[in-house]
Amino acid sequence: MSLRNTRVPGAVVLAIAGVAAGSAWAAEPAKAPRDIAPLLKPLRDAHDMPAMAGAVVQGGRLVALGATGVRRRGSDEPVTPADRFHIGSCTKSMTATLIATFVEEGTLSWTTTVGDAFPDLKGTMHEGWRAVTLEQLLTHRAGAPANLDADGLWGRLWAHAGTPVEQRRMLVEGVTRRAPDPPPGTRHVYSNAGYAIAGSMLETVVNRSWEDLLRERLFEPLGMASAGFGAPGTKGRIDQPLGHTAAGNPVELGPGSDNPAAIGPGGTVHCALGDWARYAALHLPGGRGGGVRLKPETFERLHAPAPGEGQAYAMGWVVCDRDWGGGRVLMHAGTNTMWYAVVWLAPKRDFAVLVAANQGGDAAAKACDQGAWALIQDHLRRAPPPK
């Protein structure tokens, strides 16, 4: 059975521990999550992944967690459920959720425009960008480019030695010199640049970096102690999983082990699967609350697909229907070509599954998709029937 109708176009373009083994959180803190490594191991073997990890959330509780494989191909250092995996474009919903906290406070609104946020760029910004809204950026309907090759911008971002905030400002200046294409609001075009612009708008209005705000408003309140940015681990050590190319070659930590921080809001978060599950629970009816409180109507806005032509995409979520989910489900995949991750949320049945591998490419995508389906089937066999 196919878990999804289409692959997230930009998830493949993205060039995407706080929870110890045996721990649980929320509703039943004394009950250890079920070990799902035995379900993932055959798929890791079949697709020749260095490592895979997964988690299952039922409402506000981590019910299953597991990891199998090694941190670096050719080494014998095993992964653990507390190890950190890069989640690529699955970062996008985190950026949208972070922005939602400022919308509820009145610091921003979904209709805040690029022109509002960057009045100092009036002289260089193409007039087509001035009315583009935050909501259009977060639903990939702003006319932001699918890639950043025009005028050599992508290369300049790789070479930029400044702070992440400065990198994102360079991206904004470079992208907004050209007209949005297609015209804003007309068609879905998956764009990491659009999320970078949204992140830079937030940074400009609040005068804080996206990274600091995400830590302060999501990671710390949710107890996501393992969450960070870029490839995880310490250079020269194998203390965390390394990413691997599609051909299976390990990528040592350094400038080439992740994308430039310029597109961070579109996909540079890493975390342990148990901590990622804490975030996923926030978007389920049974897991809302805790340190991050948003109104029900805000979650509805975050989960509602934007109208118009193309992919049914909400704010950081692909929206589709699946019988196993009781109807509407949310998903996203992410990769920086050296890792792969996928998350599925079934709000009507109040559960989520998350799977990640420390390798990129088509084999990793298949391994994670099949892993997610195996976890969904296993969970549904064990879960009480829906009321």
Residue spans of the domains in the chain: they are 9-88+212-382, 95-99+106-210
Amino acid 7: pLDDT: 34
Contact in structure between 340 and 320 (CB atoms under 8 Å): no
Amino acid 10: pLDDT: 33
Say if 9-88+212-382 and 95-99+106-210 have the same CATH topology: yes
Amino acid 385: pLDDT: 67
Handedness of CA 156, 159, 164, 165 (dihedral sign): negative
Q: How is domain 9-88+212-382 classified at the CATH fold level?
A: Beta-lactamase (3.40.710)
Spatial distance between the Cα atoms of 99 and 85, rounded to a whole number of angstroms: 24
Amino acid 30: pLDDT: 54
The model's pLDDT over 231-287, given as tens digits with 9 standing for 90+, comes to 999 999 999 999 999 999 999 999 899 999 999 999 999 999 999 999 999 999 988
Spatial distance between the Cα atoms of 5 and 188, rounded to a whole number of angstroms: 16
Amino acid 387: pLDDT: 63
Spatial distance between the Cα atoms of 69 and 88, rounded to a whole number of angstroms: 20
Amino acid 31: pLDDT: 82
Amino acid 24: pLDDT: 38
The CATH superfamily holding the domain 95-99+106-210 is DD-peptidase/beta-lactamase superfamily (3.40.710.10)
Amino acid 291: pLDDT: 83
Amino acid 383: pLDDT: 82
Non-local CB neighbours of 328 within 8 Å, separated by 6+ positions: 319, 320, 321, 347, 348
Residues of the chain with pLDDT under 50: 1-24, 27-28
